Copies of this chain bind each other. A is one copy, B any other.
Amino acid sequence: MQNLNIPVILGTARQGRQSEPVADHVVDVLKARGVITDLIDVADYALTATGEPGAGTNLDHYRELIAAADGIVIVAPEYNHGYPGELKLLLDADYQGYVRKPVAFVSVSSGLIGGTRVTEQLRLVTTALRMVPVAPAVHVTGVADALDDRGRFVENSLSDVLTTMLDEIEWYARVLSPGRAASE
């Protein structure tokens, strides 16, 4: 089987977002595993309403990336126990591309607790999009101190959970992609 393609969505456009270096790290780890990947940055889309492309956006490109993907990783902070509005606007901008593909979640939090609630709400949204949310999830707490100066997780336990999560999404990607192809 050829290399898997699993892009990473950076799910916040907030000024000073701490999720960006985490998303970069996930991209690096995926590449080191031989997975083809792209960073999809919600800040590049600047949507203001559901169902409209917005001036200067490139939603067609987003839909192409999703269509080509075998799965998706979403990196996102938790705002008031929910997902960032800009992430939802982007997720709602496609439909066909998601079907029967796995999705995994990395939450980012500045505190000691948090991130688990946005993950649960995103599991429900992505299930509605007909994706498969994998059970293992990474919850980065205390993000200010979570990465070393080379941009990697300081704690081995966090790296281990990331490995478990990527093993799981790759397992689903390898099983589901041929299944989808056979159904067409």
Contacts and interface: CB of A to CB of B under 8 A. Distances in A.
A133 interface: yes
Interface in A77-104: 79-92, 100
A152 interface: no
Nearest to A45: B48
Contact of A82 (B12, B125, B183): B125
Interface of A: 12-15, 43, 46-52, 54, 79-92, 100, 113-114, 116-117, 120-121, 123-125, 127-130, 132-133, 135, 139, 141, 171, 174-176, 179, 183
Q: How many copies make up the complex?
A: 4
A58 to B, nearest CB: 14
A127 B121 contact: no
B175 A179 contact: yes
A82 B86 contact: no
Nearest 5 pairs of A and B residues by beta carbon: A85-B89, A175-B179, A13-B49, A85-B88, A81-B128
A92 B113 CA distance: 19
A75 to B, nearest CB: 15
21 contacts: A13-B50, A14-B49, A47-B48, A80-B91, A80-B92, A80-B128, A81-B124, A82-B124, A84-B89, A85-B87, A85-B88, A85-B89, A86-B89, A116-B117, A117-B124, A121-B121, A124-B124, A127-B135, A171-B179, A175-B175, A175-B176
